[in-house]
Chain A
């Protein structure tokens, strides 16, 4: 479904600020896999997301989606196959457009946009049904501007917009990090529900170790641009935060024990 082969990415090459963001990253996701990614700041998680979505391009290595080499495919072409939810609740929706217009934008993701009407009566009914699955009452506010919604509501809408066209890959980039605990839990539960409903192949970055353990069937840990730990389905069922930290310390030594503050 998604395959990364020998990805290497360096920023500011040849200057004093040179930073190797990713080196020799191999990752392969089967259909229906839900992989959570943890790692401290600067580990390369976001760079990885940006490479897969086509915001950035790798210096070496190839990226395959659905058996198609997309390594150099521009972002707007590739995003037909990729649903994305950003950390910032403001990033995933257009604030001055209505809820139904935002959904119409997402609806046209895997088609060529034409001069057909964006919000038709038939689509409006579909949108209403979709919104009802969020249990937030948004189905009664189709004509409200999205800028009027709260951060949690906007993030729930972003999640819906990223998923209902059933993309080949779903990328979640710390999508609950900017929300208060109650809202974060709501979005986490919705994520679980939606990913199961559409059986989406998902890659989720999180700073919350408990969340990384609770969600998904695989887990990877990144540090300094490398994947340092891969936990498969069987092992992951028995994983705890304590075990994960112990593992991290074993691999990277004591100097990173302070990272517990960042990771937990």
Chain B
């Protein structure tokens, strides 16, 4: 049980970087960007292929970030310069990336067993300072991924407070207004989607090394996982400020992983059911808050009506009493 939870937290932290990317496109830019399904694998493919060819895993992971950035920019250009609808530009890029990913890897699956990855390196460092192998693995990954997720969170918070970041937020909030304040919304959308997919690809590169393989199908439904993290996080932790919202996204990503790993311990659920579980979680996170709000509203109105009725009867009784008093005076 405990190992299941630690594993969920570890992968939650890695996927949190992807979720931050989705937050950037979905929430900040208000752009439903489906490129994510493709760019996640692109990140994994680039990192895995480079690692197999003997490139330093840290350098390979960083390169994945830049390739993801380029993929996001392409989606942005399709939408802004090509005037293609946002959803369609994302889908087009996603499909195109599927073939590109196959080209990068040369086949549909690249195993990374017995390869030097970011995680094996961290484990080595752990054993060097005297931890035993298992502890070095668990604590090394937990600590480094926490730091990494927080680094990306800090970057997002900082960026969204800069002049450029404010303009990107305004592009998602009121594009007409920010154009009248001399901002090139096209450029900002391209930049925003680039950053978003850079994070997604970076996360993909880490996931490939964590799972010790890159597979061309590993990105299917990634956008929904990202969305699940964003929505669950927002529902549970709130969105008052940017810093709070990004923390919520990380929390949401971890919660999502924990729920999935717990659900999979139920006897009749299989690994293949994960996507169904995800879909159900997103639906719940979207519908339940609405129902709760409706119920609260209904209760509030009923209470108000009851109070009014009571006040009315009280007034009527008071009036009646007064009438009697008047009569008696007469």
Contact = CB atoms under 8 A, between A and B. Distances in A.
A86 B182 CA distance: 15
A119 B182 CA distance: 18
B161 A161 contact: no
Contacts of B167: 105, 108, 113
A117 B159 CA distance: 8
B182 A118 contact: no
Given A91-B177, A95-B173, A96-B173, A76 B165 contact: no
Interface of A: 53, 75-80, 82, 84, 86, 90-97, 101, 104-106, 108-110, 113-119, 161-162
A186 B164 CA distance: 33
Interface in B174-193: 174, 176-185
Contacts of B162: 114-118
B169 interface: yes
B183 A94 contact: no
Nearest to B186: A76
Interface in B159-216: 159, 161-167, 169-170, 173-174, 176-185
Nearest to A116: B163
13 contacts: A79-B179, A91-B174, A94-B169, A94-B178, A97-B169, A104-B166, A110-B182, A113-B166, A114-B162, A115-B164, A117-B161, A118-B162, A118-B166
A101 B177 contact: no
B141 to A, nearest CB: 32
Contacts of A80: 182
A108 B188 CA distance: 15
B174 A93 contact: yes
A117 B165 CA distance: 9
B179 A113 contact: no
B163 A75 contact: no
Contacts of A90: 174
Nearest to A158: B177
Main secondary structure of the interface of B (DSSP, over half): helix
B27 to A, nearest CB: 10
Contact of B174 (A76, A94, A106): A94
B182 A76 contact: yes
Which of A86, A101, A116, A162 counts the most B-chain CB atoms under 10 A from its CB? A101
Given A77-B182, A91-B177, A113-B166, 15 more contacts: A75-B179, A76-B184, A79-B182, A86-B176, A91-B174, A94-B178, A97-B169, A105-B167, A105-B181, A106-B181, A110-B182, A114-B163, A116-B162, A117-B161, A118-B162
Interface of A is mostly: loop
A108 B169 CA distance: 14
Q: Which of B161, B170, B177, B181 is the most central at the interface, judged by chain A CB atoms within 10 Å of its CB?
A: B181
A90 to B, nearest CB: 8
Contacts of A91: 174, 176-177
B161 A108 contact: no
B178 A105 contact: yes
Nearest to B171: A94
Contacts of A117: 161-163
Interface in B109-139: none
Given A80-B182, A97-B170, A108 B163 contact: yes
A230 B161 CA distance: 47
A118 B242 CA distance: 14
A50 to B, nearest CB: 11
A79 B170 contact: no
A115 B169 CA distance: 14
A54 B179 CA distance: 10
B223 to A, nearest CB: 22
Interface string B214-239: 00000000000000000000000000
Interface string B145-163: 0000000000000010111
Contacts of B165: 118
Contacts of A79: 179-182
Among A76, A77, A91, max chain B CB count under 10 A is at A76
A114 B180 contact: no
Given A92-B177, A93-B174, A119-B161, A101 B166 contact: yes
Name, among A77, A80, A106, A162, the residue most crowded by chain B CB atoms within 10 Å (CB to CB): A106
A113 B177 contact: no
Contacts of B179: 75-76, 79
Contacts of A97: 166, 169-170, 173
